[in-house]
Amino acid sequence: MSDKEVIVVDQFGAFLGRESGRLQVRQKKKTTEEYPFFKIERIVIASPGVSLSASLIQECVKHGIALDFLGYGGRPYARLSSPELSGTVKTRREQILAYTDARGLEFARMLVKGKLGNQVSILKYFAKYRKERDKETYSQIRQTVREVEEISSQIFACDGNPSNIDDDRQRLLSIEGRAGKLYWDVFTRLVPAEVGFEGREHQGATDPVNSLLNYGYGMLYAQVWGAIELAGLDPFAGFLHVDRPGKPSLVLDLIEEFRQQVVDRTVFGLVNRGYKPKMEQERLSDQTRKEFAHKILDRLEGGERYEG
């Protein structure tokens, strides 16, 4: 685990500046928080009302600290980082070449396999708490697990012929989509009625659960983008998702395996333990966003036991 911190700034009207080798967060000209730069991993700015100084940006570049900007719903809209983090040209050339050969297809297969495997793990995790007290829901979850596992078995049916790689990618996306529908359908039964969850909605959602999911995915998106840059890869050259101008396909690829363990488990665990996210004007309140951001960061920093 890193000894550096991810700093989340989500107070409207906050100003970020540099003073004596430290990041200062100010509100109404009063310093509310201070952090030494050598202790900062990255800075997440999660409110449109935050301003910052050029000297702060210069210091962040010097220390290799990226700044991620998120909208109210958690959607990332900008990222500032040092060009020195971009890695070698050779790495990116190999990444582009891999898209058209068996390496890219194998990577795409493993992404989908990992995502579906994590969906199964999360469903089993929530099922075990319902085995005795809600046998009907338990039975439905187990049925969904079997169906997702059956769909997952089709991943390696793609023949891997270089001339059919694009068709194989479309089959993988279809497999991912079918499993995703089953996964989200069962979660409508796992959320307490007073919180409510009628199904997965993406950007623009106004209900508490989807708003938490979208906000968490936004934080995860920024984290994955940073890891891609550190690895010297091109975030816009993916292996599964379709290339489009302005669409970071590799980020969208790599985030898929982490959504379930980092965000879904955190969100559904919280609401099933009685957590009630507060909404203001159909958005998560500042306090809820702050609380939830720390939960996601704790999850990212936490460890998982692996026996194999």
pTM to 2 decimal places: 0.87
Domains of the chain: 5-70 (3.100.10.20), 90-301 (1.20.120.920)
In tens digits, the chain (308 residues) has pLDDT values of: 567 888 999 888 999 999 988 999 999 889 999 999 999 999 999 888 899 999 999 999 999 899 999 887 778 888 888 877 666 788 899 999 999 888 999 999 999 999 999 999 999 999 988 888 888 989 999 999 999 999 999 998 766 666 678 888 899 999 999 999 999 999 888 888 888 888 898 877 888 999 999 999 999 998 999 899 888 899 999 999 877 777 899 999 999 999 999 999 999 999 989 898 999 888 888 889 889 999 998 898 875 554 54
- The percent of residues above 70 in pLDDT, for the chain, comes to 94
Alpha helices in the chain (DSSP H): 54-63, 89-98, 102-127, 135-152, 165-187, 208-230, 249-258, 265-272, 286-301
| Long-range contacts (CB closer than 8 Å, 24 or more residues apart) made by 176-183 | 176/112, 176/115, 176/116, 176/256, 178/151, 179/115, 179/116, 179/119, 179/148, 179/151, 179/152, 180/119, 182/144, 182/147, 182/148, 182/151, 183/119, 183/123, 183/144, 183/148
Judging by beta carbons within 10 Å of its beta carbon (0-12, 13-18, 19+), is residue 5 exposed, middle or buried? Answer: middle
